[in-house]
Every structure is written in structure tokens, then in C-alpha cells.
Structure 1
Amino acid sequence: MSKIEAGQISLNQNNFDLWSLLDSLEEMFSIRAAAEGLKLIFVRSQTLPHYIKTDERKLRQVLINLIGNAVKFTESGSVTLHSEVIDPPSQIDNQQEAEMVLQFTVEDTGPGIAPEDIDQLFEPFIQTETGRKYQQGTGLGLPISQEFFQLMGGDISVSSTRGVGSVFKFNIKVNLGYPEEISSSQLLAQKIVSLAPNQPKYRILVVDDRESNQQLLVKFLIPVGFEVLEAENGQEAIAIWNQWEPHLIWMDMRMPVMDGYEATKRIKSHLKGQATVIIALTASAFEEEREVVLSAGCDDFVRKPFEEQILFEKMAKHLGVRYIYEKQISSQPTRVVQHQPLEANCLMVMPTDWVVQLHQAATELDDKLVLQLLEEISEDQLALKQSLIDLVERVRFDMILSLTQSALKL
């Protein structure tokens, strides 16, 4: 609030996929709603544009705040989000500049808000009777959301009936967006060399009890231009988050002292925690684990082992980060050592104990240990050795795991 009052908050507009944003919110809240026995409904008008240009992060934040409040305070029934165009673009001949007004309506079947409380909803630090009853929140979510709406050229209105429910309706001005000239699949095939100019200095917190895992993420993030701090457990993560206010946290879920589940719940219980993106890092391949992670409050999750491009893709999705890519060179220099096509039986030249160790090292994303093990491959198997080293350099631990799993079954 102090930054808003001092005029230090501004719009960081970017072109993004509105449908994808709504899909991700529906996915995130569906698990929480189901846990509360609520029906979550997302309705889009047929004219809702696929791509728009506005401040994606602020729009995501206010939608999370309003939907989150509705789910939190509604004990039975449903929570519905309507998304529609109420003022279509007037400049259809120049779509990149076409301006329109979007309206989002969050409707719930909760306890409703007393008439005397509605006027105080947007006063900082003042909670309604319902908020005091549930003893949750600080009374800052709606005042900050209102400031964001006004910053985006819109406003918010509220109507409510005690015992029936509440309706929060807001509108914002946006420009009609467009797909990027280079598709994401094409961009991901290129190497990211740095952050694009004129962006915030993104602060990223890496939380993992294994130093090797921390260093792997640091190796990806710092050269590109992210500011990075590290924590060994959830307790340290909360302390750093409180002081440093990172934009995004890569959170390992299983750690000593305090695990990622508890740390995420504590961070997300604060208002400023709602503005922090938390992406879980989990080694579990079970779908049930994904639901547990999201219900703990994480905004997304990535399974270990992961690829470098997945990390950058997730940060672009949740923060709107833009990158500068290295142009692909058509004529690549030929390597002195030719790569050997890798199949499971290629590893049969090594002892079973070695394959087990390699599998474990790949599971833990321990690139140093993997490379140490690869040094044990004899010179007459140089092509195999070089092919495996290449997988490590490309951070394809998933392929190493697949090879070792198959080899151990032979």
C-alpha cells in the first residue's frame, strides 16, 4: 500500500494468452474448491479474445485474490467466474492497437456481506464481519486490487445479499493481443542468452536441501540475468521471502526442518504471499502428488528431473518474463567424437552397481556425480561416454533415467 500511495506502482504491459491464464486459474482453484465441496464454474463469452495486452501479473493477482476469497468464505454451493467483452474494439483495421474493455465477474453462494460493511471493503486493514469470523487475511487484498483495477483503466463494484451470496464485478481496458511472431516451440529450440530489456529485476528464490540441486538452478538463472538467493529448508525460505520479497520461488517439497508444503502454506497465508509465485519441485511421478502440491497453495509444479527450457517457460508463463534468444546457426561445427545412438543395452558394458549409482545420481540431478561416474567408462567406449556427457550438458537427466531403468530390467 505504501508503494501504491507513493505512486511507485506502474503497469508492465505484455502480450499474453488470456485463455491460458484462465485455464491455469481454473486448474489451480478446482482442487481447493473440490476439497471444500464447492462447484467451480468458469464461463467465457464467445467474443472473449484469445490474446490481449495488459499487465498479466496484476490481472492474475487480482483474479487470484477475488476467486480465492470466494472459495475461502463460501461453505456450500458454487463459485463462478464470468469473463466477457463489454466494449468491443473500435479499430478493427489495426488489431495490434485495438482497445477494448473486458469485464470479469466473480459470483459466490457464500454468507454475503452486511450493507454497512460493503462501503468499508476497500478501506485498508478493515475486515468485514465475515472476515473477522474466519480470522483470515489482513484487509488489504481488496484495497490493493482496486488500485490495480484503476491503474488498468477500470474499477470494481460489489453487490451482496445476506445468506444468498456476493457478486464482485470489475472491468479493465486492454489492447487486442496477437500471437508472437515466433512460436514458443521455435523459441524453446533456441538458446536463451539473456533477459529482454526494460523488465523488472526479477528476484528468484531457490529452496532445496541439496546443494547440487541449488547449484543446477543457479547455473541456469544467474547467467541469463535473474537475481537469485538460495535456502536449504522452508524455515530459511520464509525468512528470506519476508525480507527480500522474491517474484518467484522454486520450492522443493521434501526437506528437513520445514518442508515445502508447510512453507508454501505459511507464505500464501499472507497478502504479499499471494503476489509471490511458488512453483513446486517434486520427484514424484504420481498424479495424486500434483493435487496435493496445488492444494497446498503452489501456483504450479515441475517434476524432477527437469529440462532447462521448462524452467524458463514456467517463469514466462507466471511472471511474463521475456527473453533474448540466440539465433540458430545452420552449419554447426562437426564434433571430433561422433555420438553413439543410446539404447539400454549400451550400458551393459558397465557393472550393474555402476548403473545403479548412475540412476541414483540422475534422480538427484547431481551433475557432478554423474560426470564422475562417466569418467569410469573406458577409452574404447568413447562414443558412449561422449553421448552421455552430452545428455548431462543438455540437462537431459530424464533420458539418463530412462536408459538406466531399462538397463536394470535387462
Structure 2
Amino acid sequence: NNKQQTIHFEVEDTGPGIAPEEVDKLFTTFGQTETGRKSLEGTGLGLAISQKFVHLMGGDITVSSTLDKGTTFAFDIQLELSKATEIKIPQESRKVMGLAPNQPNYRILVVEDQPANRLLLVKMLTSVGFEVYEAENGKEAIALWSKHSPHLIFMDMRMPVMDGYEATKRIKSHLKGQATVIIALTASALEQDRIVILSAGCDDFMRKPFREEVLVQKIAQHLGVRYLYEESGTKEKKERIQGELRTDEMQEDCSNQSLDFHLSQMPRDWVAQLHEAALKCLDHVIIQLIEQIPAAHAPLANTLEEWANNFLFNQVIDLIQSAQARESKLALSN
């Protein structure tokens, strides 16, 4: 059948890895490895549910892992090709450009123990125009809430020191806390967890990962915030102009020299630091490293800055790996 195609999927990480004797626990309900228990994250249901979904599609998830290096999950499924006319194109959601004028100065507190997740949330909210504070555990959250009286709190529920459940209960026990909107951030999809979250005092919840449009909609729902949106025609014009500018800059600045070349002129230690920062999604570290790039390699600095500002960490990683592969080939040919 020409319409049937085998699609191969792989998900790879560079984490602590899984011991061989613990691999069998991965797909059991509520089963967790030693690494999972130490991270204080997850319920032991994600992979069990994922395996059931893949089984329903006729596949099977396999695991390959090396301790201290990482893990790869993979599966194959048979899919039937669809005609282009059968594909429904979703309507483009309007991008929020900022806050509409004549509104209060909205204060938002982000409580999240994972630095990358916290940074992403803070960047999203500050780019819209909110006044944002951040905390990495419930204890810090209570102190910042008491000092700044935020209108809304995005509260991760699973954190060290003090979790989101306890922090929410303490905040809501005060009269001032009753006026503070608390939206729980959770990776759980279980109905009973939703009930526990709401009974702890949270006004609403969002499941991770979430889309930016969901984030701004939740804020508008609870605070009545009004936004300024980017019009479709404006967006297309802006993208065309930016594309033309980038083309002109590459033609003028690169002088037929690739980004690989500019990267190859940087110290190995600097490249290693850049690679580590990209793997950990640390855009502020990448910006600091960009400041060390000589003016002669401005095309590299400009490109990395654009990628960091747009959280395109995979492109940074791909560039480094491409340059290293090219360097290895040249070394072998010599």
C-alpha cells in the first residue's frame, strides 16, 4: 500500500541516564527510577500512558540509556498519507504585542524551581509589559507576595523547601491573599490532582507545557487585562522586511564566509561554554558570551543574539555540532 508509511520517532536527552536494572520500571504504572525520585518530579504515569498510546497505534517504545550520558526513547508506527486537501489549516492566533493603554500596572509573581521554565515565563510576561517578580520555592513566594502584593501568581506545585500547595494555603489564609489570583502550574493530567489543587486554594490551573496564547488568555480571564495585538498584514510585512534585512546583512557582513568559519575562530573553551549554555537554555549566559566575540566576527554575534532572544537554543546547538563535524572531516582529510 503506497499510502502506508513507517514513521520513526526518537526523543533523546543528555540527562543522568537510567541504570539497566531500572529500565523495566519505566513503563509500569506509578513506577519511578532512582533518578526520578531524587528529582521530586513526576508521578510515574507519563511513560506508562505514552506506551499505551503507542501500542494503540501499533508501535512499541524502546529505551536505550547510558548512565551519566543520557537516554533515547524510540518507536515506529504505520501511518496513512493524507491528501493535502484533507488537511485542515488551523486559524492563526493573533500575537499579543503589549498591554492596551489606560490600565493598572499589573504585578505578576512567577514561582518555579526549574530555572529554564522560570526564565521562559518571566521573559514571556515582561515582553508583554507586566511587572514581574520571581521565586524558586514557596517560602520565597510568600515573602515576595507579602512585599509586592502581586495581582496574580503562577505557582508551580512541586518544589523543594516549600511546595506550591503549602504556599497557596498560607497566602489564601490572609484577607489580602483572598484577592490574589493563584494559577497552579502542573504537569499532571489526573482529575484527582486538579481537585486537590483547587481545594488547596488555587483559583485555576494550567497544565505544562502550555502555549503563550493560553497564558495570556488566563491572565485576561482573571484580571480583565486588555491587550494590543499584531495584525496579520503587519506581521507579514514585518517578517518580509526582517528577512530582507537579514539577507542584506549576510551578503554584506559575511563576505562569503559561513557562520562555521566565524565559530571556528573562537577559543575551544568559549565554544564549550556556549554549547553548555544552549543545552541548559540559559539565554542570559549566551548573551554574556556574545559580548566576548571580536568585531571581526560580528555576523556570528548578530546571529547568536537573535537566536538567544527568541529561545532558539536548538539552532545554537546545531551550529556548534555542524562546525565540529566540519572540523573533524578536515582533520581526517589532512
TM range (shorter): 0.3 to 0.5
TM-score, length basis structure 2? 0.46
